[in-house]
Amino acid sequence: MDNCAVFTYTDEDFVNVSSKSRFDIALRSGWTEKMNSGLFRYHLGDLDTRILPGPCGFVAQLNILRGVERRKPQEIVSIRQNFDPNQFNFNKINPKELLFELQKVITESDQNGRNKKCKIIINVSPLEFGHCLLVPEPDRCHPQILTPLAVQIGIETVLLSADPGFRVGFNSLGGFASVNHLHLHGYYLDHQMRLESSPAELIHPQNHLYRLVDFPTGFLFYTQGPDLTLTVNAVCKLTDIMVDKNIAHNLFITRGCPPNKAGDPFSARNGVRVVIWPRLSCFGAKEESAFNVALCELAGHLPFKNRKDYETVTEEEVKEIIRKYLLPEEEFSELQNHIMKTF
């Protein structure tokens, strides 16, 4: 995995929403080339897509082959499970699955020791166009627990993309992560999502921490960059609390409007929203027949495994499934109070 193209960037490459950026061109062209070369488990094509009627605006997609062909998830028994070199990890992939290496060029104004690299590899069982995995420092064999570098790279890739449809997410162990080797997901979804403009309540001004008002309830951070230090540290402090308390969680990073412009779907989405949902842990082979509840589903993107569910499901039925995986309101409030004291 060492002989690969390197995509270097600085803060000057962070762009507002427009047409395409250098990052989009590199990712889109490389991903399409890999698809045409037969490196994926199936040909993605154009997915059947419909917007479910209702205020949540859930984006439902039919992706039967992902449910059939994806790699069997590893056995996960703990949110703090150690990395196991004998299990599948991203150091064992076919080198042809590597798209490029992402490396930030350190400037005089950014001396945070960020001269670290991230592998961008294809997800061979894609959810959507451009579905890739962001693997920070793969040789260090980090378990699937967020680090400041991982969070920073997640936010920076969204800022590098000029496409508002490019999103990044993370599933913790117990939150439907299938590989215990630190990675995030990135992909394009050409649909606006309610999450980008949903209202939020400021609960900790010093750390710019908000609580989402809309379903499903989660924590929200907002940044416009380029200095991401405060946001990255606050996100990691929050997820570290959840790891310490053995609470599974999912994270989603997307272009979005400022919280004070919440509710306005036409507001400029040049900033970045980082949303974290604490949730009930799910270990073993427990799966829903329609869809699993992980980063995509909590954000409002629903990849369905069968046509019947895709064609007939209603917004209320989706919410009923998701509720089964969310922390009960009392537990969420207890966690919020603990976070407020710790912050």
Ordered mean pLDDT values, 10 residues apiece, the chain (343 residues): 81 82 96 97 93 96 83 82 94 97 78 72 96 97 98 97 96 95 97 93 94 95 93 97 96 93 67 97 68 94 94 97 94 96 90
Length of the chain equals 343
**Whole-number pLDDT of residue 176:** 92
Query: Using CA atoms, how far apart are residues 311 and 50, in angstroms rounded to an integer?
Result: 9
**Whole-number pLDDT of residue 265:** 57
Contact 213, 198 (CB under 8 A): yes
**Whole-number pLDDT of residue 72:** 73
Query: And the tokens for 302?
Result: 């629903």
Beta-bridge mates of residue 200: 212
As annotated, the active-site residues are: 183
Q: How would you label 38-73 residue by residue, b for 16+ Cβ within 10 Å and e otherwise? A: eebebebeebebeebeeebbbbbbbbbbbbeebeeb
Residue of 257, 173, 245, 177 whose CA lies nearest to 210: 257
Query: Using CA atoms, how far apart are residues 257 and 270, in angstroms rounded to an integer?
Result: 7
**Whole-number pLDDT of residue 270:** 81
**Whole-number pLDDT of residue 263:** 60
Query: Using CA atoms, how far apart are residues 309 and 292, in angstroms rounded to an integer?
Result: 13
Structural domain boundaries of the chain? 6-342
Query: Using CA atoms, how far apart are residues 8 and 2, in angstroms rounded to an integer?
Result: 15
Annotate 130-169 with DSSP letters as a single string. T-EEEEESGGG---SS--HHHHHHHHHHHHH---TTEEEE
Domain over 6-342 is classified CATH 3.30.70.120 = no
Contact 154, 253 (CB under 8 A): yes
**Whole-number pLDDT of residue 113:** 44
